Amino acid sequence: MGADDLKKSGQIALDRARQVSSHLNSGNDSSQDAAGSTPRRRSRRKLAEVGPPADYSDRLDQIATLERIARTPDNTHRGYQRQKQAGKLWVRERVDALLDPGSLQEVGSVSGEVEWMKQTTSDGLEQDVPKTFTPSNSVQGFGKLKGRKVVFTADDYSLRAGHADGASWEKTNYIEKLALSLRLPIVKLVDGSSGGGSVTTIRKQGFSYIPPLPAFEHIVKQLNMGIPNLGAVLGPAIGLGAARVTICHFSVMAANIGSLFNAGPQVVKNATFEDGLTMTDLGGPDMHCRNGTIDNLARDEYEAFEQLRTVLSYLPNSGFSAPPMLPTDDPSSRREESLRTLIPRRKERMYDPRQLIRLVVDEGSFFEIGSLWGTSALVGLARLAGHSVGIISNNCESPTGGALDALGSQKITKHLKLCDVMNLPILQFVDVPGYAIGTAAERSATMRHGVNLALAYYTTTTPVFSVVTRRAYGVAGGVMLDCRDPRMRIAWPSGDWGSLPLKGGIEVGHSFELKEAARKGGPEAAEELRQKLEDEYEGLMNPVRTANAFGVEAIIDPADTRSVVCTWVEHMYGDLMQERIAKRRTGVLHAQFA
């Protein structure tokens, strides 16, 4: 090894010795820091102490502050003052009144517009805190109605009259998707436009827009899947708000504060020159609870909430499950002797069809839907042996005498579809003299709506059991009683049926003979012949003769009606219900409400 090599090796050894010495000195310094808390370690600890808290309590405090602001009414806010002056509950009061106590789980509780400010803590840390907060004008989330879990949306009319505020569209769309995904009933408390736009939206965004309806796709799927959609009008339901509640399976309007219209009085004034209209004039309960836009009328908000709870108690969470069963002390075998004398022997006389329904179904279980509109028909929900059923009945006490008019047909059509998507068997009491006749009936397109009713009867698949209490005439009678194969029906001894009622039917069928009698013997001879023919036909139309020819499956003692229909419904809720649900789940059977 040469001299140069030795010199180079020595330099390498010296460098390594210096590295080892440096490491040893560094270790000693660390030991001193640990044992003696050197100033450098104290500096690091001090920085950790004044930094953001490790448990994120600062951000949790921000959320708590925003939620407290959202849940505390601002008595000085003009929107809140307007709400209370109108006699309406504030949105948070409504949610508390609707839901079971303690069941609220809010979604999007801090969505809204926040103005932040800097604030220095006692530790000298600067952090953001809310200065002002305007919550989204829609409260949404989960809750329970009589123990049933639901999702809900509730408009806050005190903030921008429920118009879109940026968050409400997204929140509403999210809740609609949740209802569909989780198969949970959805309740909609509508007061305003439910997130619909206004001209100020254009100014805020800086551009105009083609109106979107992102949630409607999900709503239609919900309706057809049998996910209960229940809506309440608790103020002016405007535009999108009106559409959201009208499309529901069931809707109710609070009589003291509710109204519904496509556009408000000011817009109407500029478009149609109708001036001086109030919201009630334009679309109050007397209008929309009588034309079928809204199903039911409630005295106030609290009664509206109770109706929502009641309707839900009959319905499943979706068409993929069976309707709930509520145990009853009312025996299935109960005989009701008063039913024997309910139908008058004189065909021109009326009786109370609601009393008939109440005497057959479980005691206190009948809930009528749409009592103020389509009065030629009665529909509703009830229970038989504890099982939920849909109810359909003709109403001989209506102005048409029970003949189905346009609105009556529309009413039954909607109810058939409701029962179909909800897997509700239908019990119907038939006393129909036919479709309504006359110029008023023709102007209102009675036959068009009557045919739509026929389509509903023949395209729905839920079981139907018919009790023919009296009349069954014409196309309407055929539609109601021949819509299932095999037919499940019984008749009472008061049964009276045919193509045309005798009154008028004799004159049509024997017009030539009557004219000849009048020509030969005058009006007296014609009347004598007509009476003779009527007596003959009366004998031939004895319902027992129809049973002799097996034109009706059974004529029973009216007092036994309850036991017969309870036996039927208990069978429907057995294997047949499970088979139906399996077909719904696998897509073999499709029910359609919308």
Q: Dihedral of CA 173/177/180/185: which sign?
A: negative
How do 426-432 and 489-491 pair as beta strands? Answer: unpaired
Spatial separation of the C-alpha atoms in residues 515 and 529, rounded to whole Å = 10
pLDDT of residue 199: 67
pLDDT of residue 499: 84
Residues 6+ away with beta carbon under 8 Å from 1? 9
Spatial separation of the C-alpha atoms in residues 78 and 498, rounded to whole Å = 65
Helices and strands, number each (H, E), in the chain: 23, 17
Spatial separation of the C-alpha atoms in residues 82 and 249, rounded to whole Å = 31
pLDDT of residue 257: 96
The one-character DSSP state at 325 is: B
Residues 6+ away with beta carbon under 8 Å from 132? 114, 115
Which amino acid would we find at residue 172?
Answer: T
Asked if 192 and 235 count as a contact pair (C-beta separation under 8 A), the reply is yes
- Could you tell me the two tokens for 157? 């009319």
Which amino acid would we find at residue 135?
Answer: P
Give the pLDDT confidence of 139-148 residue by residue, as tens digits. 999 999 999 9
Name the nearest CA neighbour of 403 among 501, 545, 328, 277: 501
pLDDT of residue 206: 82
* Number of CB atoms found within 10 A of residue 289's CB: 25
Q: What is the 3-state secondary structure (H, E, C) of 110-160?
A: CCEEEEEEEEECCCCCEEEEEEEEEECCEEEEEEEECCEEEEEEEECCCCH
How do 259-261 and 229-238 pair as beta strands? Answer: parallel
Q: Dihedral of CA 566/567/570/576: which sign?
A: negative
- Could you tell me the two tokens for 289? 């609870």
Identify the bridge partners of residue 490 per DSSP, sorted by sequence position. Answer: 467
| 297: three-class secondary structure by DSSP | strand
Spatial separation of the C-alpha atoms in residues 555 and 552, rounded to whole Å = 7
Phi/psi at 280 (5° precision): -70, -40
Which amino acid would we find at residue 407?
Answer: L
Alpha helix positions (H), 51-89: 57-71, 78-85
Which amino acid would we find at residue 411?
Answer: K
Spatial separation of the C-alpha atoms in residues 282 and 288, rounded to whole Å = 10
Spatial separation of the C-alpha atoms in residues 474 and 493, rounded to whole Å = 20
Spell out the domains of the chain, with CATH numbers in brackets. 89-112+134-312 (3.90.226.10), 337-495+555-586 (3.90.226.10)
Spatial separation of the C-alpha atoms in residues 416 and 410, rounded to whole Å = 10
* Number of CB atoms found within 10 A of residue 102's CB: 7
Does pTM top 0.85 for this prediction?
yes
pLDDT of residue 125: 82
pLDDT of residue 537: 86
Provide, for the chain, the percentages of residues in helix, strand and coil under a 3-state DSSP scheme, each rounded to the nearest 5.
45, 20, 35
Identify the bridge partners of residue 105 per DSSP, sorted by sequence position. Answer: 142
* Number of CB atoms found within 10 A of residue 54's CB: 7
Which residue numbers in the chain have pLDDT < 70? 1-50, 160-168, 194-200
- Could you tell me the two tokens for 532? 């003779």
- Could you tell me the two tokens for 154? 């509730």
pLDDT of residue 86: 93
